[in-house]
Amino acid sequence: MGAEYTEEEIKSRIEKSKPPQQAKPQKTEIQQPTQALPPQQKPQPQKPTPPPKQAPKPPPPLEGIALWESIIRRAETAEIYNLMQESGGYQHFVDLMTESRIAHETIDNAMKANEKRIAAWGYLRKDITDLNRTRKVYNEYKALQKSTKFFAKRTADKFYEKHEDEIRTHENALRDLKDYKRPLPTIKEIDEEITKGKNANAVNAKYYRTAKAEHTRFTAVHRNLYAVNNEHKPKAPQRQKQRSQQAEL
C-alpha cells in the first residue's frame, strides 16, 4: 500500500490526520481608567510685597513764634507761666520780639534807601535828557551873545524871548550837574541802575511782608505773656522799714 503514495502525499496525509491545534487565547490588557488631570492654570502676576510700614515720624519741635503761640493756647495761666519759664522765660521772648522788629525795620530801611537812589537816578536822567535836548538852542543863544555884529544884542534878546523855556531848562540842568563827576553816565546806564533798584525792592518787599507778619504775631503773643508774667512772677520781698529806736536813758 505504501508504494502507491508518493512521499509528499504521505506527509500531506499525516498532517491531515493530526488533530487541529487550538489557538492560544491572546491576553487582553485591561486598561485602568485614567484620572482626569485638572487644567493647568497660568501663574497670575503677583503684586510686589510692600515694605513694612514704618512708624510715622514725630513732627519737628516747634520753635520761634510758633512755639510761643502754642504756649498761650493753654487754658490755665499757671501752665502758661511754667511753659514760658521752660522755654527761656519772659525776657527771652522779649529779645526774640525785638529781633523780629529789627529784622523788618532793617528791610524797610533798605527799601527806602533804594527808593531814594531810584529817585536820584531819575533826577539825573531828567537833567541829562534836558541838557541834550536843549544844547543846540543854548549854543545858538550863547553865540549870539558873543557876536560883535551890529544889533547882535537885540537879536540875542529876541532869540531869548522866543526860546526862553529851552534856554532856562538848559541852564538849570547845567547848575544841577555842575558838581557831578564827569563823564556823565549814558541814559542806558542810568536805566540799568534804576531797573536794578526796582528789582531789589521787589525781592525785599516779599521778605518785608514775611518779617512784618511775624512781628505782628509776636506783638499779639506779647500782650498775653505780659499779663501772665505779671500775674505769676514771684514778687520781690518788700523791705521792712527799720524803725530807729532811741535808747532810753
The residue written with cell numbers 510761643 in the block is: 68
Supply the pLDDT for residue 96.
95
Give the angle subtended at the CA of 230 by the CAs of 225 and 233, to the nearest 5°.
100
pTM across the whole model: 0.63
Task: Write the pLDDT tens digit of every residue in 89-116.
Answer: 999 999 999 999 999 999 999 999 999 9
Return the domain boundaries, the chain: 64-232
Grid cell in block for residue 239 = 523791705
Average pLDDT over residues 37-60: 62
Determine contact, residues 158/145, Cβ cutoff 8 Å. Answer: no
Task: Write the pLDDT tens digit of every residue in 188-219.
Answer: 999 999 999 999 999 999 999 999 999 999 99
User: What are the helix (H) ranges across 147-239?
Assistant: 152-162, 164-176, 187-232
Determine the residue type at 173.
A
CA distance 110 to 211: 14
CA distance 122 to 194: 8
Residue 225: phi, psi to the nearest 5? -65, -35
User: What are the helix (H) ranges across 72-163?
Assistant: 77-86, 90-146, 152-162
CA distance 207 to 187: 31
